[in-house]
Amino acid sequence: MPEILLVDDNRTMLLLLKTQLMKRGYRITTANDGAQALQILEAREDIQFVLSDWMMPGIDGIELCRRVKSAHYARYLFFVLLSGKDDQQSIIDGINAGADDFVVKDTHIDELVARIQAGFRTLALHNEITSKNTQLDKAYATIKKDLESAGDLLRRLLPQEKKLIGVELSYVSIPSAQIGGDMLGYMQLDEEHVAFYLLDVAGHGVSSALMSFSVQQSISVSSDKGAVVKTSIPEPPYYRLNAPHEVLARLNDLYLSGAENMLYFTMAYATLNVKTGQLAFAVAGHPPLVWLHSQTGEAEFIGQDSFVVGAFDFAEYETSYIQLEPGDKVWIYSDGITEAENGAMQFSEPRFKDLVVTLKDHPTAVQTELLVKRVREWQQADNFDDDISVMAVEWTGYPEGEQACNMRLSTKVSAQFYK
Decide if 377 is inside a domain.
yes
3-state SS, one letter per residue, for 156-212: HHCCCCCEECCEEEEEEEECCCCCCCEEEEEEECCCCEEEEEEEEECCCCHHHHHHH
- The span from the CA of 85 to the CA of 62, in Å, is 13
- The span from the CA of 150 to the CA of 148, in Å, is 5
Section 191-211 average pLDDT: 87
Say whether both 193 and 261 belong to one domain.
yes
Section 405-418 average pLDDT: 38
Decide if 163 is inside a domain.
yes
Closest CA to 212 of 257, 159, 266: 266
Give the residue from 113, 130, 147 where a domain finishes.
Answer: 130
Closest CA to 241 of 227, 229, 255, 250: 229
Say whether both 105 and 180 belong to one domain.
no
User: Pairing relation of β-strands 78-83 and 320-323?
Assistant: unpaired
Cα separation values, 307 from 315, 318, 394, Å: 6, 11, 27
More confident call, 96 vs 319: 319
| Band of residue 307 on the pLDDT scale cut at 50, 70, 90 | very high
Split into its structural domains, the chain has a count of 2
The domain that holds 377 is classified in CATH as: 3.60.40.10
- pLDDT at res. 226: 55
- pLDDT at res. 406: 43
Say whether both 223 and 371 belong to one domain.
yes
Cis preceding-peptide flag for 175 (omega within 30 of 0) = no
Say whether both 297 and 249 belong to one domain.
yes
Q: 199, 208 in Cβ contact below 8 A?
A: no
DSSP code, position 56 = -
- pLDDT at res. 145: 78
The domain that holds 87 is classified in CATH as: 3.40.50.2300
- pLDDT at res. 380: 94
Per residue in 321-354, pLDDT (tens digit) is: 999 999 999 999 999 999 999 999 999 999 999 9
Decide if 95 is inside a domain.
yes
Decide if 337 is inside a domain.
yes
Say whether both 218 and 114 belong to one domain.
no
The per-residue pLDDT of the chain, averaged, comes to: 87
pTM exceeds 0.75, yes or no: no
Write the single-letter amino acid at 101.
D
Decide if 406 is inside a domain.
no
DSSP code, position 309 = B
Cα separation values, 179 from 185, 197, 257, Å: 16, 19, 22
- The span from the CA of 106 to the CA of 129, in Å, is 34
Decide if 405 is inside a domain.
no
- pLDDT at res. 91: 78
Question: What is the DSSP code string of 209-247?
Answer: HHHHHHHHHHH-TTSTTGGGTEEE-SSTTSEEEPPHHHH
Decide if 184 is inside a domain.
yes
Whether residue 415 has pLDDT greater than 50: no
- pLDDT at res. 154: 57
Say whether both 110 and 165 belong to one domain.
no
Per residue in 263-290, pLDDT (tens digit) is: 899 999 999 999 999 999 999 999 999 9
Say whether both 229 and 357 belong to one domain.
yes
Decide if 382 is inside a domain.
yes
- pLDDT at res. 141: 85
Give phi and psi for 71, each to the nearest 5.
-65, -20
Say whether both 51 and 117 belong to one domain.
yes
Burial of 375 (0-12, 13-18, 19+ CB in 10 A): buried
Least-confidence region, from 123-132, 156-165, 231-240: 156-165
- pLDDT at res. 202: 87
Domain that holds residue 315: 158-395
Say whether both 216 and 269 belong to one domain.
yes
